[in-house]
Amino acid sequence: MTSVPVRAPDPQAGATLAPQEKPASSSPPPARRSPIDRLAWLLVPVLAFYALTLAYPVVRLAAQSVPDGDPLRHYRTLLTEPLYLEALGRTFIYASVAMLGALIIGYPLAYLMSHGPRLARAVVTTLIVIPFFVALLVRTFGWMTIFARNGPINKLLLGLGVVDEPVQLMYTQQAVLLGMIAVLLPYMVLPLYTVMRRIDPRLTQAANGLGAGGPAAFAFVFLPLSIPGVLAGCVLVFMLGLGFFITPDLLGGSGEQVYPVLLNRTLTTAVGEPAFASAMSMVLLVASFIVLLAVSRVVPLSAIWRPESAAVSRRSGRALDAGWRRVNLLMRISRLPSIVYRAPGHVLAGVGLALCLVPMLAAVLMSFQRSTFAEFPSTDLTTDWYREFLADPRWVDAFLTSIRLGVVVALVVTTLSTLAALALVRGTFPGKDLIMGVIATPLIIPSVALAFGLYLVLFNLRLDGTFAGLVIGHAIPAVPLVTLILVANLRAFDYRLEQAARGLGASPLRAFLTVTLPVLRPGFLVAAFFGFLTSFDELVFTISLAGTGLRTLPLRLWEDLHVRFSPILAVVSVAEMLVVITVLGVVALMMRLRQRRTGMKGSIL
């Protein structure tokens, strides 16, 4: 929110993962009309990449899923067998519960991050950024140590005398749901925070001054303005929930599983039946597509990557006309001591923080435990597991492979995304919004449904089980993220600087290289680091593409978790967290540097 509203809203202002934007003069002036701007060619590499890794795999899946003879055999099985139907239904229920749970907990958390007291704001934001980038797998591992039979929850219950013997926590529905809410929570908080940060705190003050007590000001002013973030977060978490198998697989055991878990197990075990695996993938893809279609009737899908669009909040403003009747009730609540109506939010935010941090702390604590089977936590500490980790070439190799892979992915993806971002920000051709939507697709469609299709394509290219194959797989989730960051960065750039360079005699290319690039360099580095982290944490495509030889750190961790449970896995988790924290530290430093040098503000989120 700027104090002087800018007229003529830019049709694609802002992005979800956006550094703070300058309100004015950041977009290039409309150039002479030409049907296809030359800049549009810069999109070719990205679109070619998407054709190879998104479109073609889907075609392959579709073709593969209809065997000769009885083409619809597998679909019939999937749509009649209770095992699969129930799993599909369960998936929708779990995704809904995760979405609602994450919303209820994430909303107060995002509020605290954007409008809380200054200290709380800084602390909470820092604490939430780290879990956002720590791998899902590692955080799920943390939950496994907490839910364990000899784990802290059972220890507490026994100690308090609530139960006489340890309760079964692992492999229960409750564990899966709690784990899903906790692990997906950051994806709810991020869009909420992006939207809330733009809500001018003076609007709430103004509402107070005009006679609206805290609850009324919240209900009539803050809440409607935050609705775009709510919608974006809900769509994101629900879609992620539909394709989510890591946490349910590990916390849920073998019975009563969700569909993506069955799909992943089919992919990794029943390789003999590629047609069935393809049909399974297609069912999940079609189901997600139907959901997206239904959602897009209510929310423009572009709201997911730019949740601040004004149209949505206007609609929620009109919806208020029905809500005014509640004003007396709200005013009565306002008369209560503020602690009464603030307490629930504070409690929920505390729960949210705990859900994010406790599993990571548990993993750290676990890595220092001497015994594998005894009670956790215990005071019998050791660093032996760290020594064992460093002495085991399996782990060290996996760690180094992940780092190498991350660096290559970061370079490749940043190159692709820079070209795309330049075209999308500077270009003057029709359909930019649509192309942005295409580029964002991997963020919202289930990777697990694509994984087998990609495997088929790479197998034909003899890239399966190779380093290059993994680079391609890891680039799929990295491209949309890095492109969104770069688009936001380029938009924030003061275009007049480049105009000034042109006016002083520089050619367009020279102006870009000597003025734009140096100013934006920290932004590029930040984007590249996020590309690195995406690859470093990637597991879904890795499972399908790694073959038998290559092992990344998350993949090795995932495989070992299914075999044995040892504190050395906690050490692996700690190693992963350390890499993430180091990278985030560097990113934060560069953000500060950029702000000092160019005055462009930004935050990691």
Partner 1 sequence: MSSRAQLGGAATAPETNGSPAALRTPVEAGGSDGRQLRFTGVTKRYQDFEAVRGFDLDVRGGEFLTLLGPSGSGKTTVLSMVAGFQSPTAGSIHLGGQRLDRLPPERRDIGMVFQSYALFPHMTVQRNVAFPLRMRGIRGAELARRVSHAIDLVQLGAHSHKYPTQLSGGQQQRAALARAIVFEPPVLLMDEPLGALDRRLREAVQFELVNLHRQIASTIIYVTHDQDEALTMSDRIVIMNEGRIEQVGTPREIYASPANAFVATFMGESVEFRGRVERIADGICTLRSADGVHVQGRNGPGLAVGDEAVVVVRPERITLAPAADGTEAAGVSGQITEVLYMGQRSRYTVQIDGGSVLHLIRENTVGVASYAAGDDIVLRWAADEAVVLR
Look at residue 567 and give its three-state secondary structure: helix
Least distance (Å) from partner 1 to the CB of residue 433? 20
Residue with Cβ nearer partner 1 (286 or 336): 336
Closest by CA position to 138, among listed 380, 295, 397, 367? 367
Residue with Cβ nearer partner 1 (66 or 331): 331
Residue with Cβ nearer partner 1 (213 or 248): 213
Least distance (Å) from partner 1 to the CB of residue 325? 9
Could you write out the DSSP letters of every residue in 378-427? -S-B-SHHHHHHHH-HHHHHHHHHHHHHHHHHHHHHHHHHHHHHHHHHH-
Least distance (Å) from partner 1 to the CB of residue 121? 18
Closest by CA position to 102, among listed 218, 230, 287, 16? 230
Closest by CA position to 478, among listed 422, 427, 540, 433? 540
Least distance (Å) from partner 1 to the CB of residue 308? 11
Please list the alpha-helical segments (H only) found in 116-245: 118-133, 136-147, 152-160, 173-197, 201-209, 214-217, 223-242
Residue with Cβ nearer partner 1 (214 or 352): 214
Least distance (Å) from partner 1 to the CB of residue 320? 7
DSSP label at 52?
Answer: I
Closest by CA position to 479, among listed 429, 449, 435, 513? 435
Least distance (Å) from partner 1 to the CB of residue 229? 13
Closest by CA position to 345, among listed 129, 130, 116, 131? 116
Residue with Cβ nearer partner 1 (41 or 324): 324
Query: Are 191 and 236 a contacting pair, CB within 8 Å?
Result: yes
Residue with Cβ nearer partner 1 (71 or 201): 201
Percent helix, strand and coil across the chain, each to the nearest 5: 75, 0, 25
Closest by CA position to 445, among listed 240, 267, 295? 240
- What residue has token string 């943390």? 142
Least distance (Å) from partner 1 to the CB of residue 230? 14
Phi, psi of 249 (to 5 degrees): -60, -45
- What residue has token string 């990205």? 46
Residue with Cβ nearer partner 1 (162 or 339): 339
Rounded CA separation 279/274 (Å) = 9
Least distance (Å) from partner 1 to the CB of residue 122? 17
Task: Tell the burial category of 499 from Cβ atoms under 10 Å away from its Cβ (0-12, 13-18, 19+).
Answer: middle
Residue with Cβ nearer partner 1 (3 or 254): 3
Residue with Cβ nearer partner 1 (224 or 252): 224
Residue with Cβ nearer partner 1 (201 or 431): 201
Residues β-bridged to residue 381 = 369
Least distance (Å) from partner 1 to the CB of residue 214? 7
Which positions touch partner 1 (CB under 8 A)? 1, 3-5, 7, 9, 200, 202-203, 205-214, 216-217, 220-221, 224-225, 310, 313-314, 316-317, 320, 324, 327-328, 331, 334-339
Rounded CA separation 548/307 (Å) = 42
Closest by CA position to 237, among listed 96, 358, 331, 441? 96
Neighbouring CB atoms inside 10 A of 105's CB total 25
Rounded CA separation 432/27 (Å) = 14
Neighbouring CB atoms inside 10 A of 102's CB total 31
End-to-end CA distance of the chain: 17
Least distance (Å) from partner 1 to the CB of residue 310? 7
Region at 194 (left for phi over 0; alpha for psi -120 to 50; beta for the rest): alpha
Least distance (Å) from partner 1 to the CB of residue 405? 45
Rounded CA separation 128/66 (Å) = 45
Residue with Cβ nearer partner 1 (297 or 325): 325
Least distance (Å) from partner 1 to the CB of residue 512? 32
Least distance (Å) from partner 1 to the CB of residue 96? 27
DSSP label at 371?
Answer: -
Residue with Cβ nearer partner 1 (267 or 312): 312
Residue with Cβ nearer partner 1 (314 or 510): 314
Least distance (Å) from partner 1 to the CB of residue 314? 6
